[in-house]
Amino acid sequence: MITFLIAIALLIIGYFTYGAFVEKVFQPKEERITPAYSKGDGVDYLPMHKNRNLLIQLISIAGVGPIFGPIMGALYGPVAFLWIVFGAIFAGAVHDYLTGMISIRNGGAHLPELAGRFLGKAMKHIVNAFSILLLLLVGTVFVASPADLLFDLTNGVVPVIIFVVLIFIYFLLATILPINKIIGSVYPYLGAILLVSTIGVGGALVLQGAPIPEMSFENTHPAGAAIFPLLFLTISCGALSGFHATQSPIISRTTQKESQGRRIFYGAMIAEGIIAMIWAAAAMSLFDGPITLSELIDTIGTGGIVNEISTVLLGSVFGTIAVIGVILLPITSGDTAFRSARMIIADYIKVPQKKIINRMLIATPLFVTSIILTTVDFSMLWQYFNWANQSTAVIALWVGAMFLFINKRNYWIAIVPAWFMSMTVATYIANASIGFGLPMSVSLVFGAIFTIVITVLFFLFANKNRKNKIPTEDDVSNWDSNVA
């Protein structure tokens, strides 16, 4: 229990200390006009209150990842707590903040546009294809998982296909309608439900004196899976997730002032870290007896474990409310995944999105593809999601490092987590069965060489960019300051 409480405290302290440091490094400008005003179109670009943006950002990035991932990560033991805490503070929140703020400085641009500007034109095309693939996987996976949870919640009375159809209809509406119609109106309330239900689970753990294990570096995974690199891909949302790099630009287009960035981007990631800590602790404490966590995952799955945790800790009524809060997570990340995909494609092919017909022309093929993907095995999709997700995080961190390097600021806040995740992802791809299937010893060498090569190329390109003084942000000198 002491380890759990210290971890929660560290996450909160991290927001006020390291978060303030990262903000100081970036140097937000209070007077600078944001894209919400300079490019306002009433659809994707429009100003919304900072608290509304915070809750939208939180509910968008917090899919099933900060719950299902930590439950699976709990198999490794309390070492998972370290990754959640330090990953969220020094990697995930930095990743989210830099992506959101650099997007604001570049007219609300999404990651492919930013990669093209800071890492070379070829990267724009590569990252564009990669981002669309990731978002399609997320959108599809986040149809299946809440449909299964709803099926369990109704005791199988309502067929899964009904929930799948209803979720797809909602996703389509949230993708094509102006952001303030559904997402901006409903999300803040859904975010409040998420926070209340999560606090309820965490509070019950403390009040009931749940036997949460104390800090230990012992690997307790029943299958003997290696902590490195697997833990750092198993727990992504809640520590560091590339999916967030596709979501932050959505809110960069609705942010009123740059000074709100730490609260919205850094703060939402810290909140997600707290959510991950609570569910990891609950899984470790409740399923370490005659029936182990591993056995339950094999029999009732992570969705069943969520139901079990909620019911045991909160009772049938409040437990059901908590489960509903969990069901909302993938639904409210799936819709913004499709929305983000629409926006990225629109930016890439330069099609204005003010007319609904233009939005439909882009959204329709996305949903047709996603429907086809629902016929693919869920577990296989999730394997590819983990790899694609953390690879996207690597790209976003290198983009952040390049922006800071060119502007002669402390780029180490981005480059250190970029090193770690480059090594992690490269090692995983080399070792995994869906990758090259190499022995772990060889994979570690491959990961190290890959990281060194990427670092050398980064500094060569960065020094060239700094020497040539490439623009790192849109010129707003001729904007009318009265617009805001």
What tokens were used for 225? 């899976």
Residue 477 has pLDDT above 50, yes or no: no
Q: DSSP 3-state assignment of 39?
A: coil
Residues 218-230: pLDDT tens digits? 888 888 888 999 9
238, 272 Cβ separation under 8 angstroms: yes
Q: Please report the pLDDT score of residue 479 as a whole number.
A: 41
Look over the chain and give the mean of its residue pLDDT values, rounded to a whole number: 88
Q: DSSP 3-state assignment of 288?
A: strand
Distance CA 463, CA 157 (A): 62
pTM of the shown model? 0.92
Residues 352-407: pLDDT tens digits? 999 999 999 999 999 999 988 887 766 666 667 778 889 999 999 999 999 999 99
Instruction: Work out the pLDDT band at 115, boundaries 50, 70, 90.
Output: very high
Q: Under 8 Å CB-to-CB from 312, ≥6 apart: which residues?
A: 286, 319
Instruction: Work out the pLDDT band at 304, boundaries 50, 70, 90.
Output: confident
Q: Please report the pLDDT score of residue 483 as a whole number.
A: 35
Left (φ > 0), alpha (ψ -120 to 50) or beta: where does 209 sit?
A: left
Q: DSSP 3-state assignment of 292?
A: strand
Residue 476 has pLDDT above 90, yes or no: no
Whole-angstrom CA distances from 239 to 21, 82, 92, 430 are: 19, 10, 5, 23
| Most confident stretch, 288-297, 307-316, 428-437 | 428-437
Distance CA 284, CA 291 (A): 12
Q: Under 8 Å CB-to-CB from 127, ≥6 apart: which residues?
A: 111, 112, 115, 116, 392, 395
Domains annotated for the chain, with CATH where assigned, are 2-396 (1.20.1740.10)
Angle value at C-alpha 465, between 463 and 467, nearest 5 degrees: 65
273, 88 Cβ separation under 8 angstroms: yes
CB atoms within 10 A of CB 121: 9
What tokens were used for 332? 């409210």
